[in-house]
Structure 1
Amino acid sequence: MRKTGIFAVSLSFLLFSSASQGQENDEVWIDTMHKSISESVMDSAQWFDNFFAKANKQEDQHALGEVRLRLGWEPRSRELNEFEAKLKVRVKLPNLKNRVDLILSDYEDNPDDKVRAGRVNDINRQDNFSLALRYKNKPDSGLSHRLGFGRRFQYFAKSRYRDTANILPDLNLRYDASIYYYNRDGFGSDLGLGLDYDYSKEMLLRFENRFYFRDKSKDWLWQHSWQALQQINDRTAVVYGYYIEGLSRPNYRLEEYLLSVKFRRNTQREWLFYDIEPFILWRRDENFSASFGIALRIEGFFGER
């Protein structure tokens, strides 16, 4: 078993136990832990931002830092040791007029909502750990540029544009496009187009399309998904999802499809969430034989968002 898997299971069990137990000493422990980590994140953000302060002059704003940690276990028939550990750190720098962010992450900008077992192509499963500076001409600009290191310590440059358009009062169009270059993988690009429809106060219907071009393999990876997001109450939501994925080579064909129902719950602490997601997966490399599984995840936020 991989070390990441052992760490994920151990920490998940520890946090689940602490969140669920009602004893006062457990509550003090987990709240103290969260406060300590959040303060460390904010102090580190301010320390980094001070490097860009002008002599004898600093911005009135404080630097902000956020850490997002997600741990999961996604066992299924034919594959029990599917573990996931994701980390994202973002630091806003007021001494650079909030136009530059420092971002440390181990997944791409557009991680899909599918369970990890349903990502058979290397574009979604490769080592995507990256450290980069992101620049925007204006804090609210849809155009951004990144320079940094990622994908097994390759240096890269990336430009992205994203925006949203309101087509009808209850219908929104989301779109984005990016182009990037990695020194060993070469050029690549991705395109995204999605529709959000407010079916009711409690339900949002979403249709998502993504296309990735990989210069290294000279092909396109495409993904389509249909989701219904239902709000049960202030702390609980359910996501019904159907996802398909395929490649353009050797021909435009389906590689896998997935059905899932995700239950997402906010605990008594605003910064801590957990997911339970039963799913059924069909993959070409398994002769499209149904594989049944369940994804268990815990997610925490530290610092200030």
Structure 2
Amino acid sequence: MKHIILPLLLLALGPAHANHEHDDSDLPHWAVDKITPMHDNVTRWLDNSTRNIDNFFGTDDSLTIENGSYLRFSQELFWHERDRFSSDTTLRLKLDLPTTEERLRILIESDPEESQGTLAEQGANTARDDRFRTEDFLIGLRRLGDRDKRTDWRLDAGAGIKVKLPLDPYVRFTGERLWQLGDSPWQLESWNRASWFNEEGYSVRSRWDLGRPLSDTYHLRFITNVQWQEEVDTLEYSEGIELDQLLGSRSIIRYAAVAVGRSASDPHLHDYYLLSQYRRNLHREILFVDVIPEVHFPREQNYDAEFGITLRLELLFRGDLSWGR
């Protein structure tokens, strides 16, 4: 698969290769013929495997009910003014087993929130959709709340193990709430989680997202993240402002500014980021490309600007994804 991703990334950056016969794809016919059989085989395996596991623990409804399982494969090239070039290949998997029990789900998931490090380590990732780490994998049970977060707090609880040697058990509680602020277009969303992992200890994280549409093509958001981890023992926070612009049915660009700080007793900001993220649906909602230039102003470098750019290609496998050819 790796040998397919890089050529497609180069192809995606060349508009001369765009296929104008279909408005749902930029790929030429030979590329579509190359990627379609591979995508269909992996998607079929993912869908069948998930439904068979769900049917074993649940009911026959698993064969027909909508399933939210997905596999996301991405490959990125990154250039930074200080670190120069690097590359990374990541995989994110989530298996959804909706009929195992009413309000009780078996969870098989990679890349949990708890494994993404400190806010300083995440940096500008809090403003973009690429927080992937494939070395962490969870298997457990999740008890779903039965409340609508638009009218009340929705509370979930979960427990299981992180698959590593030695096995690392965990327990976590999650609360979500969504407020419509009067008759205005503003919405405030809150996501909060308290976790315990045997190896890392306790952690608490909270995200508050205030946003509104400005028009049919623009959306404004103010995002606050607060995080505490026992092994770090420092309160961290980040403030971000994002403006999303819809460029068409298959393209969007995000402009963002992020400030990261720490300490409750002597709060101070230690990193600033400016970035934009261009994302395009290259092929029928299964193949995407991201171009992300950014400027980092680190305190440790006296806030001197450091430039970087990321190119990423993402391939999505989802069993309930339907698209014509």
Shorter-chain TM-score: what band? 0.7 to 0.9
Rounded Cα–Cα distance in structure 1 between residues aligned with 2:145 and 2:180: 24
**Residue in 1 aligned with 2:137?**
130
Rounded Cα–Cα distance in structure 2 between residues aligned with 1:213 and 1:166: 28
Pair 1:165 & 2:207 matched? no
Rounded Cα–Cα distance in structure 1 between residues aligned with 2:139 and 2:239: 29
Listed as ranges, the matches of 1:46-57 within 5 Å are 46-53=51-58
> Does the 8 Å CA contact 1:130/1:148 hold for their aligned counterparts?
no
**Residue in 2 aligned with 1:184?**
199
Q: 1:218 to 1:143 in 2, by over 3 A?
A: same
Rounded Cα–Cα distance in structure 1 between residues aligned with 2:157 and 2:169: 14
**Residue in 1 aligned with 2:48?**
43
Specify the SS of the correspondent of 2:32: helix
> Does the 8 Å CA contact 2:120/2:260 hold for their aligned counterparts?
no
**Residue in 1 aligned with 2:240?**
225
Rounded Cα–Cα distance in structure 2 between residues aligned with 1:46 and 1:103: 13
Q: 1:43 to 1:60 in 2, by over 3 A?
A: closer
> Does the 8 Å CA contact 2:256/2:275 hold for their aligned counterparts?
yes
Q: 1:183 to 1:127 in 2, by over 3 A?
A: farther
The one-letter amino acid paired with 2:213 is: D
Pair 1:272 & 2:276 matched? no
**Residue in 2 aligned with 1:150?**
162
Q: 1:300 to 1:23 in 2, by over 3 A?
A: closer
Shift of 1:151: 8.8
Shift of 1:144: 1.6
> Does the 8 Å CA contact 1:204/1:228 hold for their aligned counterparts?
yes
Shift of 1:293: 1.2
Listed as ranges, the matches of 1:204-219 within 5 Å are 204-219=219-234
Q: TM-score, normalised by structure 1?
A: 0.83
Q: Which moved more, 1:169-178 or 1:16-25?
A: 16-25
Pair 1:69 & 2:73 matched? yes
Q: 1:107 to 1:285 in 2, by over 3 A?
A: farther
**Residue in 2 aligned with 1:3?**
none
Q: 1:105 to 1:160 in 2, by over 3 A?
A: same
Pair 1:102 & 2:107 matched? yes
Q: 1:106 to 1:69 in 2, by over 3 A?
A: same
The one-letter amino acid paired with 1:143 is: L
Q: Which runs of 5+ in 1 are unaligned?
A: 1-6
Pair 1:16 & 2:31 matched? no
Shift of 1:231: 0.5
Q: Which runs of 5+ in 2 are unaligned?
A: 18-26, 126-130
> Does the 8 Å CA contact 1:18/1:27 hold for their aligned counterparts?
no
Deviation sequence 1:251-279 (CA, Å, 0-9, x none): 32212110011111111322111111111
**Residue in 2 aligned with 1:4?**
none
Specify the SS of the correspondent of 2:199: coil
> Does the 8 Å CA contact 1:46/1:63 hold for their aligned counterparts?
no
Deviation sequence 1:206-252 (CA, Å, 0-9, x none): 00001011122221111110000010110111100001112217832
Rounded Cα–Cα distance in structure 2 between residues aligned with 1:179 and 1:219: 15
> Does the 8 Å CA contact 1:58/1:95 hold for their aligned counterparts?
no
